[in-house]
Amino acid sequence: MKKPLHSKKEQFLLSSKGRLIGWGAADVKNLIKNANRAKAEKLHEKNRITIRDAECVFALEWLDSFVEKGITKAVVEKLNSRIAHVRYHHILMHSPKGKPYWRYVANGDQIDDPELCIAYGVSHLLASGALDGLKKCQVKDCQKFFIGRPNSKWCSKSCGSKFRVRKQRERNFNDYLL
Ligand SMILES: [Zn+2]
């Protein structure tokens, strides 16, 4: 497993309406849930969708490209082309344990549309290592995203047994042909 590029303290925060918002494990879960929802409900094929639905579609597109292409230079450049204009403040943070420390805080007011919002969130999760182990279920009619071990192939136990049953059926069929 790759090590996260940034330690927790170095992660970028988002300032929105005077509040500081960080990124954590819950964001990965939501991102994956949204992408899976977009896939299950075929949101990308619909003509009219809500902003929430649009976020799900963008999440699906990014996760698909990560799984299909890997984190290539082109993928990183595409992410940068979306988020590079966002301005950051360098803010000194108080620490109850000792000396204060610096953090970059993005201007949340500039992150105001669903495409940008998802590109920004995805970039953080990538850089923090939170998307390490991102996989797509290998059961054809599932293909849900999940975070798994390097050798895991299915999103759930039920998909695992589905896969094995189908493989067995294929094998029996081939035996029959022989
Ligand atoms: Zn599955």
Residues 40-81: tens digit of each pLDDT = 999 989 888 899 999 999 999 999 999 999 999 999 999 999
Residues 79-121: tens digit of each pLDDT = 999 999 888 888 888 889 899 988 888 888 888 888 998 999 9
Say what the pLDDT of residue 26 is. Answer: 78
Ligand 1 centroid–CA 15 distance in Å is 36
CB atoms within 10 A of CB 15: 17
Measure the CA–CA gap between 138 and 176, rounded to whole angstroms. Answer: 26
Residues 5-29: tens digit of each pLDDT = 344 544 557 777 777 777 767 789 9
Ligand 1 centroid–CA 34 distance in Å is 15
Ligand 1 centroid–CA 30 distance in Å is 17
Ligand 1 centroid–CA 160 distance in Å is 8
Two structure tokens written together for 11? 């992660």
Ligand 1 centroid–CA 138 distance in Å is 7
Please report which residue ranges of 85-156 form alpha helices under DSSP H: 114-127
- Taking alpha carbons only, the member of 122, 133, 119, 103 closest to residue 27 is 122
Map residue 143 onto helix, strand or coil. coil
With 0.95 as the threshold, say if the pTM is over it.
no
Ligand 1 centroid–CA 155 distance in Å is 4
> Which 8-state DSSP code applies to residue 18?
T
